[in-house]
Structure 1
Amino acid sequence: MAGEPSGDALGARLMAAAKRLTGGQVRFIGVGGEKMIAEGLVSLFPMGELTLFGVFELLPHLPNLIRRINQTAAEIVRQRPDAVIGVDSPGFTLRVAKKVRAAEPGIPLIHYVAPTVWAWKPKRAAKYAALYDHLLAILPFEPPYFEREGLPCSFVGHSVVESGAGQGDAARFRAQHGLSATDRLVAVLPGSRKGEVSRLLPDFRATLERLLPSHQTLVAVVPTVATVRDRVAAALADWPLRTILVEGEAAKHDAFAAAEAALAASGTVALELALARLPSVIAYRLNPITVALYRRLIRVKYVNLVNLMLDRMLVPELLQEDCRPDHLARELGRLLDDPQARQAQIDGVAEVARWLGQGDVPPSERAARVVLDIVSQHPTTGKVKA
């Protein structure tokens, strides 16, 4: 089960690895997006119904969310699968897992992507330990937080290193879109949730408008996903500069290779930009009341995982009241105009790929091996062997 595009990508890679390891002797049912469906998932309903974030953004959709939680749990109990894997999105997956545990305690419950107990709500470690059989962690320092609570936890690495983010073709992208040698490309990534797009795109538009007088050949490339494509396309219609809207991983990675800098919503895409060595500015804004609640709980200095891992502000983060066109234009303009600032970011993320699990065995295969081992050793399953 996944609830947003980043989880859909993680789930799809795990599914592909499980198919390879079992010679295709595995099938999937649950909730996922286009990538998981492409790997063979039978999705109970469109994943887009779950891509919500923030207390006040969620409230109008709460009745439908509760209905989907109940529907999913009931289907799991009916199907009695060899394992249930929740991929991040704890607002959905955790609630489904609780219902399944109460109804069918013998089904192995696995959660993929450890909750950030090192950042906020440390008591969640005990909550997860009481519910799940195993946790798949994407960061190397996470397992001890859960193992001390008695929950087996495996560091598998972050499968964003398998995304191909650093393997785009700049020349191909420029040729496909008729870009000249003087056109200066900025990647604009407003997020994958409807609320993110609605909040951030107006500020991103105003940011580029501020830069246009001194950067007259600026072109914006806007990678998007199916769940928000129409909304993004409509917003771009009146932008004061040339825009290129692209969909799909290959086109996005080609855009990264061709671009000089990026302006992006906080999230997994920040890691992709780091792997692509594309200097970036990260922005985000939520409902002010939601933010006030979160700020009382959060225990870390940064939101961008690159900055967290480096323990310094390498990639500018302009959040909430700082997420303003004048501030964004200042930081993005610095990346466009100052080669040293660009190079400092490129050099600074050199260690991030290794920390995320880049190596001989892909993270998705490590995750799939753990899942298949759990299934093969479980007393009530044991049907699938890698």
Structure 2
Amino acid sequence: MRIAMVAGEASGDLLASHLMRALRQHLPQLKFCGIGGPKMEAEGFEAWWPAETLAVNGYVDALKRYRELSGIRKQVLKRLKADPPDLFIGVDAPDFNLWLEEKLRGAGVPTVHYISPSIWAWRGKRVFKVKRAADCVLCLFPFEPALYARHGVQAHFVGHPLADEFPLHSDQAGARELLGLAPDARIVAMLPGSRNGEVSRLADSFVATAQRLYESDSTLRFLVPMVTRHTREIFEAAIYRAQAQDLPIRILFGHSHDAMRAADVVLVASGTATLEAALLKRPMVIAYRLANLSYQIMKRLAYLPYVGLPNILAREMLVPEFIQDAVDPAAMAAAIEKWLYDREACRALSERFDTMHQSLRQGHAERAAQAILPLLRRR
């Protein structure tokens, strides 16, 4: 049997590789093809295009690349209609995959969408598109299946892969030893994002926040994990613009999880890293800026009063958020200082994060495979 998959970006590549492995435990001869990344290829995936092809940052970037991505999508559809797979799984990338799923489902190919789009946060009307496109939706968060049930869409909560990956107890001392940090150091980790645009829009504000914190407490040290050489250069340029070369900022290549584990508080761009910080039980302050046009569009379509995943899961403002024009170094420094000096608040937050972690820890790959197998057995 053959499954076609389209996964966008590194996160989709990781999710899909785990799912491939779990499915092969039940059906060893399964073959996989489509759009995927190196982790999927390591599991035997036949990649027609790399997963990074689908990476976009906001509406503006998506509009600039619309013709290119639309052309790729049409080529994938043509190829799959000419030689239909037994199942199609769209992994994240909803703007790309839902269109493809709807066309393939109309041609008689069973379809799965993994993971659920954020219909609970913005663009809620997408639930009708999902209903047309997918025979089954796999959800990372426990509140999502009920939202789909209201519209007659089959959906399964499978848990979050990060909750399985991260231990329930975070070893701060071990992380500090690994990074060569003093056990009693006072550390703030700063994660301004993984994409060039994200880092460009936040770097100056993050450096200014560090300056304010250091003026108040010269014992503080700052860790800044960077994903690529280019993002590192962007952040270093912000340090030079602020004439902050004397700040005790240590830029790491990778090691984002180690930096967060080692930290007392995390200043983090909105995104998956906020959930990672919560699973590591770290107090955090969330910041985010989009290109102005992208922000105005999302603001009009948004339904929730918060954007950080820990706040969305808790359905309350557990940790402070500073979005767009509210990204202010003085305010962010004050919010970080609150976590640095209020141990009782940090303890209570850690307990909430522990409960969150337990609820998401479900053995996601096997649960996802169990939801998909009935569709394959019908074939």
Amino acid at match of 1:243: R
Contact 1:283-1:323 within 8 A present in 2 as well: yes
Name structure 1 gaps, 5 residues minimum. 382-386
**Residue in structure 2 matched with residue 12 of structure 1 by the alignment:** 17
Higher mean C-alpha deviation, range 318-327 or range 172-181:
172-181
1:108 to partner: Cα distance: 1.2
**Residue in structure 2 matched with residue 324 of structure 1 by the alignment:** 328
Pairing 1:1-386 to 2, within 5 Å after superposition: 1-22=6-27, 24-102=28-106, 105-164=107-166, 166=168, 169-225=171-227, 229-237=228-236, 239=239, 240-247=247-254, 251-356=255-360, 358-359=361-362, 362-377=363-378, 381=379
**Residue in structure 2 matched with residue 384 of structure 1 by the alignment:** none
Identity of aligned residues (%): 37
CA 39–263 in structure 1, closer or farther in 2 if over 3 Å, else same: farther
Contact 1:51-1:193 within 8 A present in 2 as well: no
Amino acid at match of 1:8: D
Q: What is the distance in 2 between the residues matched to 1:354 and 1:171?
A: 23
Q: What is the distance in 1 between the residues matched to 2:113 and 2:105?
A: 13
Higher mean C-alpha deviation, range 257-266 or range 25-34:
25-34
Contact 2:196-2:231 within 8 A present in 1 as well: no
Query: Residues 81-108 of structure 1: CA distance to partner in whole angstroms, max 9, x if unpaired?
Result: 2211112221111232234345xx2221
Secondary structure of residue in 2 paired with 1:31: strand
CA 313–99 in structure 1, closer or farther in 2 if over 3 Å, else same: same
CA 62–255 in structure 1, closer or farther in 2 if over 3 Å, else same: same
Contact 1:31-1:43 within 8 A present in 2 as well: yes
1:111 to partner: Cα distance: 0.2
RMSD: 2.4
Q: What is the distance in 2 between the residues matched to 1:12 and 1:143?
A: 23
**Residue in structure 1 matched with residue 243 of structure 2 by the alignment:** none
Query: Residues 150-202 of structure 1: CA distance to partner in whole angstroms, max 9, x if unpaired?
Result: 32211212222122265654444333432223433322222233322221223
CA 167–38 in structure 1, closer or farther in 2 if over 3 Å, else same: farther
Contact 2:99-2:133 within 8 A present in 1 as well: no
Higher mean C-alpha deviation, range 366-375 or range 76-85:
76-85
| TM value normalised by structure 2 | 0.87
CA 375–274 in structure 1, closer or farther in 2 if over 3 Å, else same: same
Higher mean C-alpha deviation, range 261-270 or range 59-68:
59-68
Q: What is the distance in 2 between the residues matched to 1:121 and 1:334?
A: 34
Q: What is the distance in 2 between the residues matched to 1:131 and 1:62?
A: 20
Q: What is the distance in 2 between the residues matched to 1:333 and 1:86?
A: 42
Name structure 2 gaps, 5 residues minimum. 1-5, 240-246
Query: Residues 199-231 of structure 1: CA distance to partner in whole angstroms, max 9, x if unpaired?
Result: 122322222122122333433333444xxx122
Q: What is the distance in 2 between the residues matched to 1:223 and 1:12?
A: 25
